[in-house]
Structure 1
Amino acid sequence: MALTMNDVERFEAARPRLEAIAYRLLGSASDSEDAVQDTFLRWQAADVERIEVPEAWLTKVLTNLCLNQLTSARARRETYVGQWLPEPLLAGDPMLGPADTAEQRESVSYAVLTLMERLSPNERVVYVLREAFGHSHREIAEMLDITEASGQQIFHRAKKHVADGKARTEIDEATAQRIVEEFLAAATSGRTEPLVRLLTQDAISIGDGGGKVPARAKAFEGAVAVATFMRGLFRPSEAKRAYVGGSPDVWATTANGGPAVVVAVEGRVVGVMCLEITTDGIVAFRNQVNPDKLERATQQWAATDHGDPLLKAF
Structure 2
Amino acid sequence: MMNGQAGWESGTADDLVADALGLGVQATARMVTDYVEVGLLAPPRYRKTTQRGSDQRLFPPEQRRLFYELCRAKQRSPLPRVPHRTMIPVVLYMWLTDDTVIPAEQARRALRTHASATGISAEGRRRKSANQVVEQFAHPTATTAQRLRLAQLLREGEQTRRPDWDAVADALAAVASPWRRGEGPAEIVRGFGPPQMPLTTDQVGAIWEAKWAVTRQLRTESVPEGKLLEAREAARKDWAGYAAQRPALMRDAGHLAHIFDVPEDQEQMARQHVNRFLAVLAHALGEMRPAFQRAAERAHARL
TM-score (norm 1): 0.29
- Structure showing the higher helix proportion among its residues: 2
Query: Normalized per residue, which structure has more strand?
Result: 1
More contact order relative to length (CA 8 Å, sep ≥ 6):
1
Rg bigger for which structure? 2
When normalised by structure 2's length, the TM-score is: 0.30
